[in-house]
Structure 1
Amino acid sequence: MAGDSRVLMDHNMEIGVTPAQVKKLPKHLREAQISTERTHLISDPAKKPRQRYVQKDGKCNVHHGNVQETYRYLSDLFTTLVDLRWRLSLFIFTLVYVVNWLFFGFLWWLIALIRGDLWHADEEGWTPCVENLNSFVSAFLFSIETETTIGYGYRVITEKCPEGIILLLVQAILGSIVNAMMVGCMFVKISQPKNRAETLMFSHKAVISVRDNKLCLMFRVGDLRNSHIVEASIRAKLIRSQQTKEGEFIPLNQTDINIGFDTGDDRLFLVSPLIISHEINEKSPFWEMTMAQIEKEEFEIVVILEGMVEATGMTCQARSSYLDTEVLWGYRFTPVLSLEKGFYEVDYNNFHDIYETNTPTCSAKELAAKLREGPLLPHLVVSPKILGAVAQKKPVSTSFYTHFSRLKFTIRTTQRVVLQLPQ
């Protein structure tokens, strides 16, 4: 053991690591076998998966704890009831009606008990408050018949009972309020616009590639229904922890990502799937990020699609998010729209498909500087044979067009051909 320790110490001194620095290393790095290469002394740890701020289905992964002022939920009782789970909503719906019927049934039974109708109802010449009410069960049934306006005609209130008339008015008014509240809650819960968002789709991945000589961050959205989302708009937020110049740490800081607010491109006509593009310019948070830097960054992009449901006019919102591992550099989306006889057809099998494309790995800032200096590719030398064919307007071999299929050429003169990147 002593010999091994000495050998390890000598090895550390050889590669420039002192014993004090070795003690400061984590346990798993101290015990691991140290590489003999100086550049691979400590390997970069694998990127751990991040916790989502917003799930792929749009649910926010945030739980509110230690809420002291719980009375605020009761101040907005209607919204609280709508936000409950279905099993709780059905339980409360049933409980409210049963308790209401039992309460007023007890009051009807109490009136009959105080007046003596339970003992003298069968006597000749005795006028009860409610005819044929002789037990609590019959009072409960009369309460149900009164509030639901069933009216079987067997139990009926008489005009010789003023306290019963007042109770009938109170039950009718409160019963209408209970009906309006509970039926309204169930109706709103059934027709919630978030159910409409289930047919709004977001691509699984976001991509970064060049569009019109500019790096763009893109993702795709689509609507599966034939009834459209009216006044649809989309926006995006970058969620990333940040430390200010004063040293303040801001967890999950939100930064706006411009996806067409200035130009109106954020207002969507969502009839067919659309590719939403964010131009990485000076105002973009990705302006100075290269491909390697984005792979090391930890962030999340939250996208929010809003609009009105055409059938109901209610506002609908669909959300999704992209982690840093779901943003792919150098890819584009596969086209999904094709022209058929008399209509356009959308193939949703290719909705999430992407393909690799040639994309510079430098940042958008560096790319813009290179474009200001000149075209990315130098002017290519074309053989005199091809120049002569172009000048005489003769057909050129197809191998020439195949070789330069990704380039666009413009004839400036009959003796000069300039090849440049697509605009």
Structure 2
Amino acid sequence: MSAIRRKFGEDYQVVNTNRSMTFSAPVKKKRQRFVEKNGRCNVQHGNLGSETSRYISDLFTTLVDLKWRWNLLIFILTYTVAWLVMASMWWVIAYIRGDLSYGGHNSSYTPCVANVYNFPSAFLFFIETEATIGYGHRYITEKCPEGIILFLFQSLLGSIVDAFLIGCMFIKMSQPKKRAETLMFSQDAVISQRDGKLCLMFRVGNLRNSHMVSAQIRCKLIKVRSSQTAPHPSFSQQYGCQWVVYSSSAST
């Protein structure tokens, strides 16, 4: 089959025969859609180079464009790792100062953080401080300058992480990507004359009860245009964009 394609090209008809000498109908080549019925463009980007670094350089937009399962996974992992790291830092301060050996039994000793005896208590102290719960059982004393510095660093880091992740989730939830699910298009389109000109006509319906104010519909007409200089057929659009479509991918 590949040899036949190289010799005769793609526009050939294949006729199969069997023992009864009956001929089957010619196989019609299915043309791929440029835009799927759900609105997704059937375009694959290729030969861009260093795609990973480009996505990382625009990390916020990359997180917004990810699927929900990856967003939730990154959200949970980021907070879990941050909590464990900060709780470990509080535990290290208590370990270096020797607060863990007293265990709260010596009333004359003033620890860095009161009632922090092990890692679980250090983790609970961090959660109570970060979430501003403030039970009052665990607190920083005035004789711990390193704890005060760590508390300031924890507050700044927590504000940055909250602003980044919560902002990302808020923008992702506010995007009207699913709004197109309630906009229905007619299954068939009609070409008819209006004022002496051929017009493409179709219907658009809104399933929601809310009215659309100042609604605008923009259509694109994509047609194949052959060129003597270009090795591949190009798709010309009305808005000045030219799509060069290859056999397996498309790029602009």
TM-score bucket (shorter structure): 0.7 to 0.9
Does 2:38 correspond to 1:57?
yes
Give the match's secondary structure for 1:134. Answer: coil
Does 2:179 correspond to 1:199?
no
Q: Is the 8 A contact 2:15 2:25 kept in 1?
A: no
Does 2:245 correspond to 1:234?
no
Query: Which runs of structure 1 show a deviation greater than 6 angstroms over 4 or more consecutive aligned residues?
Result: 24-27
The total of aligned residue pairs comes to 225
Distance of 2:200 and 2:209 partners within structure 1: 28
Query: Which residue matches 2:248?
Result: none
Q: Counterparts of 1:10-409 in structure 2 under 5 Å?
A: 28-29=14-15, 45=26, 47-65=28-46, 67-121=49-103, 122-244=105-227, 246-256=228-238
Q: Is the alpha carbon distance of 1:195 and 1:27 closer, same or farther for their aligned partners in structure 2, counting shifts above 3 Å? A: closer
RMSD: 2.8
Greater alpha carbon shift after TM alignment, 56-65 vs 179-188:
56-65
Give the match's secondary structure for 2:141. Answer: coil
Distance of 1:30 and 1:190 partners within structure 2: 54
Q: Is the alpha carbon distance of 1:29 and 1:107 closer, same or farther for their aligned partners in structure 2, counting shifts above 3 Å? A: same
Deviations 1:67-120 (A, max 9, x none): 523122122222111111111111111111111111100100011111111113
Q: Is the alpha carbon distance of 1:94 and 1:208 closer, same or farther for their aligned partners in structure 2, counting shifts above 3 Å? A: same
Q: Is the alpha carbon distance of 1:240 and 1:177 closer, same or farther for their aligned partners in structure 2, counting shifts above 3 Å? A: same
Distance of 1:58 and 1:126 partners within structure 2: 69
Q: Is the alpha carbon distance of 1:252 and 1:109 closer, same or farther for their aligned partners in structure 2, counting shifts above 3 Å? A: farther
Identity level (%): 61
Q: Which runs of 5+ in 1 are unaligned?
A: 1-23, 33-42, 258-423
Q: Which runs of 5+ in 2 are unaligned?
A: 1-6, 19-23, 240-252
Once the two structures are TM-superposed, the CA of residue 154 in structure 1 deviates from its matched residue by 1.1
Output the TM-score relative to the length of structure 2. 0.79
Give the match's secondary structure for 2:117. Answer: coil
Q: Is the alpha carbon distance of 1:126 and 1:45 closer, same or farther for their aligned partners in structure 2, counting shifts above 3 Å? A: same
Paired amino acid for 1:188? I
More strand by share: 1
Q: Is the alpha carbon distance of 1:142 and 1:72 closer, same or farther for their aligned partners in structure 2, counting shifts above 3 Å? A: same
Distance of 1:153 and 1:229 partners within structure 2: 53
Give the match's secondary structure for 2:32. Answer: coil
Give the match's secondary structure for 1:54. Answer: coil
